[in-house]
Amino acid sequence: MFTVCYRRSNENNEMDILKEKKDIMTQQQNELKDMPNQYWHRIISFVKSGVRLIGYAFIPFNLVYATVILIISEMIGIIEELV
């Protein structure tokens, strides 16, 4: 009798643990759906940095062009955050 109750209790504990693990995995999968795409985030970040460097390089030669390029780099930064 004791072994039967112990087995049932042990089976229930195992089922609870499995259910809890499944719930955790489901929660993690749902959170990953909301995560940004790391590959595109990195690519856009490199592009933004390149455009920014070009903008800073233009400062000694033409402030208008430098300003426009730096504004474009900020727009790319906004797109980066949305990916």
Tens digits of per-residue pLDDT, 11-64? 778 888 988 988 898 888 887 777 778 899 999 999 999 999 999 999 999 999
User: What pTM, to 2 d.p., does this model score?
Assistant: 0.62
Q: Is 47 exposed, middle or buried (0-12, 13-18, 19+ CB in 10 A)?
A: middle
Q: What does the CA dihedral 5, 11, 12, 18 come to, rounded to 10 degrees?
A: 170
